[in-house]
C-alpha cells in the first residue's frame, strides 16, 4: 500500500506520521509525507525529540516536501491531518477525493513538548488502529 500523510507545513504532524507508520508497518509499504505550504526545512526539533525518546525512531533527516512536488496519484491513501488541508485538497483535487482520509489532529507547532507527545500518541494510535493488520499489532 502506498500512503501519503499531508499536513499544513510538513514539519510536525506528517513527518511524525511518516516515521511512526514506517516503524509500525515496515519497509514493504511506500510511506511519505508532504505539506500544503511548507515553510521550514526539516522536522521540528520537538517532533524529532519525541519520536526518538518515546518511539526510538529517528526523523532527524526528514526534508520538508511541498505537496505540489509529489506524484500524488501513485498513492492509495492520502491521510490528511487537519480539516483545512482536507477541504483544500478536496476542492483542488476532486478526482482524488476517494483516496482522501481525514485524521483531524491538532497541530502542535509552536506549543510545548507535551503537545508534541500528545500529537505523536494520537498519530501512533490511529496508525495502529487503521493501518496495521491486527496480527502485527
Domain ranges for the chain: 2-136
In angstroms, rounded to a whole number, what is the distance separating the alpha carbons of residues 90 and 94?
5
Model confidence, pTM? 0.94
What are the cell numbers at 80?
Answer: 490528511
What are the cell numbers at 81?
Answer: 491531518
Q: What rounded mean pLDDT belongs to the chain?
A: 94
Could you read off the pLDDT of 25-58 as tens digits, one per residue?
987 889 999 999 998 999 999 999 999 999 999 9
User: Can you give the pLDDT at residue 27?
Assistant: 74
CATH number among 3.40.50.2300, 3.30.465.10, 3.40.630.30, 3.40.225.10, domain 2-136: 3.40.50.2300
User: Can you give the pLDDT at residue 137?
Assistant: 44
Amino acid at each position: 500500500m502506498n500512503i501519503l500523510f499531508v499536513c499544513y507545513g510538513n514539519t510536525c504532524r506528517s513527518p511524525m506520521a511518516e516515521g511512526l507508520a514506517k516503524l509500525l508497518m515496515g519497509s514493504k509499504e511506500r510511506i511519505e509525507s508532504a505539506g500544503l505550504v511548507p515553510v521550514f526545512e526539516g522536522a521540528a526539533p520537538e517532533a524529532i525529540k519525541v519520536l526518538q525518546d518515546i518511539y526510538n525512531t529517528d526523523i532527524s533527516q526528514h526534508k520538508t516536501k511541498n505537496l505540489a512536488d509529489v506524484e500524488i496519484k501513485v498513492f492509495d491513501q492520502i491521510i490528511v491531518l487537519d480539516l483545512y488541508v482536507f477541504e483544500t485538497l478536496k476542492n483542488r483535487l476532486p478526482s482524488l477525493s476517494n483516496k482522501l482520509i481525514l485524521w483531524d489532529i491538532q497541530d502542535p507547532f509552536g506549543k510545548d513538548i507535551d503537545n508534541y507527545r500528545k500529537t505523536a500518541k494520537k498519530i501512533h494510535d490511529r496508525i495502529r488502529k487503521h493501518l496495521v493488520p491486527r496480527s502485527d499489532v
